[in-house]
Amino acid sequence: MNKKLSLEMINQMDRKSFTEALGWIFEHSPWIAERAWAKRPFFRVSCLHHVMKSVVNEATMEKKLALLRAHPDLASRVQMANASIKEQSDASLDQLTEEEYEDFLTLNKAYTEKFGFPFIMAVRGQNKDSIRESIQERLQLSPETELLEALCQIYKIACFRLYDLINE
Under 8 Å between Cβ of 6 and 13: no
Q: Is the bond preceding residue 72 a cis peptide, omega within 30 degrees?
A: no
Contacts 24+ apart (CB under 8 A), 148-156: 150/68, 150/115, 150/117, 150/119, 150/120, 151/56, 151/64, 151/68, 153/120, 153/121, 153/122, 154/26, 154/27, 154/56, 154/67, 154/68, 154/71, 154/120, 155/49, 155/53, 155/56, 156/122
Residues identified as active-site: 71
